[in-house]
Amino acid sequence: MTQAASIRFQNILYEELSGYAKITLNKPPHNILDTAMIREILQALDNLETRLEIPIILFSASGEKAFCTGVDVKAHTPDKVGEMLPLFHQIFRRLISLGRVTIASVSGYALGGGCELALFCDFVVACDGAKFGQPEIDVGCFPPVAAALLPDAVGCRRALEVILTGSPLSAEEARQAGLVNQVVPREKLDETVSQLIDKLSSKSAVVLRLTREAVCEKRDREFLEALAFAEEMYLNRLATTEDAAEGIHAFLEKRKPAWKGR
């Protein structure tokens, strides 16, 4: 595969390759998302609006320690979350509107918003040491994308287990739950992803888009409705509680939170 175009942003790398676009999160070791990085991802996705000949988007990350450990906790404070959360959710709304086949190549930790980004993709290929988790509960929050996505994907009982305990899943546990397509040794990750892209990109770009729309229309429609509900609840009900503020402050101050139940 030969490179056709690339844009190096401050926090990501966008490449148009043979048959697919690649967005690499490029803030190792943890590839933590902040509002600047989120805006860059949205800019990269904007490039694909008229590039209908590119039917596949691959999300990957620099370094082996983490795919992404989530959105910067500092962006969850009451003065910033009102901007950050809808902006982050715009990534998922944008991916649905683009209608491209999405693939996540996951090495290391995929936590919080990073887990949501990976598991939202149509295909997830993970190395055998990868971990997937939603630890937001430990800082007095909940993950709106996971709340909207996981019940349909794994059932309400398993979704609650993942979200309410905050305990991570191994790559194999995620595969058994139906959240990951393939688990491979780290040295085979890039090769496996390339083989998948080759198989998909050999198909008609327009047929791939239309087929994905036919298969995912119900899920995407219901996901958008559930995400709107979860986002409103987060911003107008959760974010105004004392415990939400306490959880964020305790994390930033590196201490155990003192929950008040209100």
53 tagged catalytic: no
Where on the phi/psi map is residue 227: left (φ > 0), alpha (ψ -120 to 50), or beta? Answer: alpha
Q: How far apart are CA 148 and CA 156, in angstroms?
A: 10
Rg, Å, the chain Cα set: 18
Q: How far apart are the first and last CA of the chain?
A: 55
15 tagged catalytic: no
* Both tokens assigned to 43: 């800019």
Residue 260 DSSP symbol: -
Q: Provide DSSP, 104-170.
A: EEE-SEEETHHHHHHHHSSEEEEETT-EEE-GGGGGT---HHHHHHHHHHH-HHHHHHHHHH-PPEE
15, 40, 49, 136: the active-site residue: 136
16, 40, 116, 231: the active-site residue: 116
Q: How far apart are CA 167 and CA 152, in angstroms?
A: 19
| DSSP bridge partners of 106 | 126
**Are residues 88 and 46 in contact, defined by beta-carbon separation less than 8 angstroms?**
no
Q: How far apart are CA 55 and CA 235, in angstroms?
A: 34
Q: How far apart are CA 36 and CA 220, in angstroms?
A: 26
Provide the annotated active-site residues: 116, 136
